[in-house]
Amino acid sequence: MTTDELRRLFLDYFRERGHTVVPSASLVPEGDPTLLFNVAGMVQFKQFYASKGEIPFTRAASVQKCLRATDLEEVGRTIKHHTFFEMLGNFSFGDYFKREAVEWAWDFLTDVVGIPAERLVVSVHVDDEESAGIWRETAGIGEERSYRRGDEGNFWGPAGASGPCGPCSEVHDDFGPEAGCGRVECDPACDCGRYIEVWNLVFPQFYQDTDGERRPLERRGVDTGMGLERLAMICQGADTLFATDVFRPIVGFIKDEVDFGDRGEADEVGVRVIADHARALCFAISEGALPSNEGRGYVIRRILRRAVVRALNLGVDKPFLYKVAGRVIDVMRDAYPELDEKREQIAIVIKSDEERFQGTLERGMNILSEALDEIVRGGGGEVPGETVFKLYDTYGFPVEITRELASSAGVSIRAWGSNGSR
């Protein structure tokens, strides 16, 4: 099944069950200054859950454009992390609750898209006997495939500084013991790669305000989120997100352009980072989020610069990312025509920031290489805080880039000051 088919199947499935299909909200949230980017399908419905009055519908489904920059350093290294992604979601605002959410999720995954039931395990909030019972009755999932966690793993929200939140139940695909750490106690909370979260079913029951107080929600309901690319990966039998139909043409383009040949894993990671980051840049820039030195723009600049550093590591010292962006638009334009409309603007923005950064990048790289050589020759140590700061302040190296480059040489870095992790 292609990603386009999965997107359509999902919306059809929930339309047939009385849901209003709603277009994705903007990637740059409107009217929510506490969120830099949209991180979930429910963001556009926050006020629906909290409404005492009329709302236009009580069931909705969407494919939401999301950007999460919290796991930037994982992108490319793992099979499942990315920054920009499409989130499939079905929502109930004071309408159906746990039973329908679980029954439909199970039916969609096993019957509609045909994932073998025995591959799926679930996690359930430790206090949520009701959901555990529904999984048992609906899917025959007993204790051996149902993992219980507290708020640290099975409570979701709010998105931003305030909003609906509640316990959640996740469906995970189990790649089998040989795919992971091999520990007997390995479970979906383990990061080893054995389990991949497919779908999160949240049951919003509270409204959390900015000082953390929770009150019962006016319209308790359902808020689900399933990463479309992850679903495609599973349905297509791909071994990473980057081997799915939406990423393959982008990855192929990058490899052709850099004459990839039979380079090793470190360079594969570089290609994946560029592919992922080019997608994020296209979508963000198409909505007017431009690279700058603060807030939202700084996130965009970091993403862009990470990709430029990776390109240089692959031997590209000319603007290149803007060409990858063109390929991204070719792949995504049927589902997102707005990208095609902004094609030229996206290329100009990316190319000019690439050019600006490339001017200082090589000088910064030389400074870092010299520091790393010296540390390695001296038998170990860390890159001093002053060097990390100079690279950031004078050469525009986001700290995590310095950390990643240093760590490829087996060296750690010393952060500077109280905000050294920036």
Site of interaction with ligand GLY (CB under 6 A)? 40, 42, 156, 200, 202, 223, 225
Quote the DSSP letter at residue 289. -
Q: Shortest Cβ contact with ligand GLY: which residue?
A: 225
Question: Closest Cα partner for 20 from 58, 51, 63?
Answer: 58
Between 66 and 300, whose beta carbon lies closer to ligand GLY? 66
Between 207 and 320, whose beta carbon lies closer to ligand GLY? 207
Dihedral angle computed from the Cα positions of residues 403, 407, 411 and 412, in that order, rounded to the nearest 10 degrees: 40
Quote the DSSP letter at residue 192. S
| Region label for 173, one of left (φ > 0), alpha (ψ between -120 and 50) or beta (otherwise) | beta
CB of 188 to ligand GLY, least distance (A): 14
Between 90 and 387, whose beta carbon lies closer to ligand GLY? 90
Quickly list DSSP for 367-381: HHHHHHHHHHHTT--
CB of 384 to ligand GLY, least distance (A): 40
Q: Which residues contact 143 (CB under 8 A, 6 or more apart)?
A: none
Q: Is 271 helix (H, G, I), strand (E, B) or coil?
A: helix
Between 40 and 132, whose beta carbon lies closer to ligand GLY? 40
In the block, residue with structure tokens 């060097």: 387
Q: Is 10 helix (H, G, I), strand (E, B) or coil?
A: helix
CB of 200 to ligand GLY, least distance (A): 4
Quote the DSSP letter at residue 111. I
Contact in structure between 83 and 276 (CB atoms under 8 Å): yes
Structure tokens at 42: 């429910």
CB of 222 to ligand GLY, least distance (A): 10
Between 106 and 199, whose beta carbon lies closer to ligand GLY? 199
Between 87 and 308, whose beta carbon lies closer to ligand GLY? 87
| Region label for 269, one of left (φ > 0), alpha (ψ between -120 and 50) or beta (otherwise) | alpha
CB of 110 to ligand GLY, least distance (A): 20
Between 163 and 398, whose beta carbon lies closer to ligand GLY? 163
- 163-174 and 195-202 strand pairing: antiparallel
Between 86 and 223, whose beta carbon lies closer to ligand GLY? 223
CB of 417 to ligand GLY, least distance (A): 33
Between 135 and 156, whose beta carbon lies closer to ligand GLY? 156
Structure tokens at 113: 């898209």
CB of 226 to ligand GLY, least distance (A): 8
In the block, residue with structure tokens 């990208």: 339
| Region label for 379, one of left (φ > 0), alpha (ψ between -120 and 50) or beta (otherwise) | left
